[in-house]
Amino acid sequence: METKRNFFDLLALADVERVHSAVIGWLLSDECEALTKEERSAVLNSLFGRNDDVVYETIEVRLEWKHIDILWLTKSKSQGKECWVLENKVKSSQHGNQLDDYVDAINESEDPAIKGARAHYAYLTLTGEPAKCQNREIRYENCTYKKLVKELEGYFSKGDLHPNPDWTIANEYFKTIQKLVTVATTFAENVSLFPEVFGGALDGQEYSEEVREAKDYIKEYGLQILMQKYYQCDVMHKVVAAINSLSNELHGKGREDIVGVGDPIAIVKEWHVGETNRNADMAIHFETYPECIPRKEKDVENRYWVYGEEYEIRDQFDISFQKDSFKFAVSDRYWNKESWIDCEKVKEFVADWKAIFADLKSSFFKEKGASFVKLNPPRGDRKGEKKRSRISISCQLKDLLAEEEAKVLTEKGKVERAKTWYELDRSRFVELVKERFKVAVELRAEAIRRYKERHPQKVQEWREENERNIKRKESEKEKK
């Protein structure tokens, strides 16, 4: 039976991310009577990770203030004046340094309602993508629509209770995001039944009503890439948890033996799930090279690194996965697109790293029996392409699988086709990603060792420059 769509379902077709922000902001403000003061306060506290029962006397909302999706301003007897910054992402991902920009906007504001207020930050997504904020003194609470739905469930009954018009509107919105979360959960638990989400062909088999409804919903609202990201984020959370659990074992061997540059590589601090050519991709990022010198001894223990000039980030390594291939790569300023068009910088970068990666592909893997066997030079070698300083070596998923698990068989036992990554058991795929990470740790150490051998003068200059920058910053701090 076809389900009647409500107003918010129709808005979802237009991919109006701001509508979600407007409704959520209104719902938790004094302007909405759907929830009581105590209920609004409880939901707000939960979304931002505050584990107490503070009740706010007033909750004011501002939308798109200084490009911040939602800003709540609260006052309470116990906490006084506070502000709450929420960045909301449904289909899109964060870009640039936007989360740092919001921190700056709050810190620099002369608005009487904001100046001097204690600030809280949260990053709301469907997928569970982690917040990326370069300011190490600021913590963004990572929260999801699944958590938001869980928080609201107790306030919106399944019956026909309509205490006021605001409740009716809010209840319709609640049902919309509840359906979205239900579909995402159904998909994630049955990924192999959704080949069309990954560009595969439908197999014509019979599905349960729950799966059919999820398929129809994903198709109608164009959520294919979002669902890919949802699953990959789920995988990455499991991979990161597994890798970080190995930290003590790896550090027990001595950091220098593992990574060569004093880098706490066993701890995954930054990863992302993005999109390239309409396919979701995921990557784990390593610390910058050359290593950043810690300001104080305790900073080594806390894994806090000083980058010299603000955002002056050197060469960065990552291990990524996209469309059935793993890549180990080095980039010049991974997130900075301006470096793409600096031809001299690209030339220098290629001269420094291309030969090293070619050596890794040949000699290193002959010894190790590993399988990163293809060298991928920077884009821009062909006419009309943008220059980008990124070099990688890659391997295909099928080359990592045993012969019997790499093929999809028919009922009669004949090989039908090669198996794609989303058809693997989730735990098996998590294990494969984890193993590639461990290989990448060795690769990074070997690449840096060879770089030091070939460019000792450049490495020394970087160290001296970094030390000068640290002394300058400390001097500026003392003057203040």
The residue-averaged pLDDT of 52-73 equals 95
Judge if 209 and 75 occupy the same domain: no
Q: Is 83 within 8 Å of 106 (Cβ atoms)?
A: yes
Average pLDDT score over residue span 45-49: 95
One domain, residues 208 and 281: no
Q: Do 214 and 99 belong to one domain?
A: no
41 within some domain: yes
pLDDT at 375 over 90: no
Residue 112: predicted pLDDT: 95
CA–CA dist 287, 184 (Å, integer): 33
250 with 273, same domain: the answer is: yes
Instruction: Name the more confident of 176 and 270.
Output: 176
More confidently predicted of 245 and 84: 84
Do both 324 and 363 map to the same domain?
A: yes
- pLDDT for the residue 313: 47
Residue 112 within a domain? yes
User: Which of 55-64, 287-296, 449-458 bottoms out in mean pLDDT, i.e. has the lowest?
Assistant: 287-296
- 1 assigned to some structural domain: no
Cα 48 → chain centroid: 18
Kindly state whether residue 55 falls inside one of the protein's structural domains. Answer: yes
- Its domain, for residue 210, covers 190-222
Least confident of 78-92, 130-144, 299-313: 299-313
336 vs 353: CA distance, rounded Å? 18
Helix crossing, 17-27 with 165-189: angle to 10°?
130
Tally the domains of the chain: 3
- Report pLDDT for 374: 84
Q: Are residues 381 and 286 in the same domain?
A: yes
In angstroms, the CA 361 to CA 370 distance is 9
- Residue 284 in any domain: the answer is yes
Q: What percent of the chain has pLDDT over 90?
A: 38
Residue 83 · residue 72 · CB < 8 Å: yes
Could you say which of 135, 161, 187 is where a domain stops? 187
Does position 302 have pLDDT exceeding 60, yes or no?
Answer: no
Dihedrals phi, psi of 34, to nearest 5 degrees = -65, -35
pLDDT at 311 over 50: no
Mean pLDDT (the chain) is 79
**Residue 204: is its pLDDT beyond 60?**
yes
Cα-based angle 17, 18, 24 (whole degrees, multiple of 5): 100
pLDDT reported for residue 390: 82
Question: Would residue 458 count as lying in a domain?
Answer: yes
155/211 same-domain check: no
Higher pLDDT, 382 or 172: 172
DSSP string, 170-218: HHHHHHHHHHHHHHHHHHHHTGGG-GGGGTPPP------HHHHHHHHHH
Q: Which two tokens stand for residue 63?
A: 């939308």
Q: Does the pLDDT value for residue 454 go beyond 60? A: yes
Cα 190 to Cα 209: distance, rounded to the nearest angstrom? 13
Task: Let me know whether 256 and 208 are in one domain.
Answer: no
Q: How confident is the model at residue 158 (pLDDT cuts 50, 70, 90)?
A: low
Residue 153, domain member (yes or no): yes
Same domain for 204 and 255, yes or no, is no
Query: Do 315 and 429 sit in the same domain of this protein?
Result: yes
d(CA 408, CA 424): 10
Q: Are residues 151 and 262 in the same domain?
A: no
DSSP 281-322: EEEEEPPPBSPPPPSSHHHHHTT----SSTT---EEEEEEEE
Same domain, residue pair 47 and 163: yes
Q: Is the residue at 2 inside a domain?
A: no
Over the stretch 321-340, which tens digit does the pLDDT of each residue have? 988 899 999 887 655 555 44
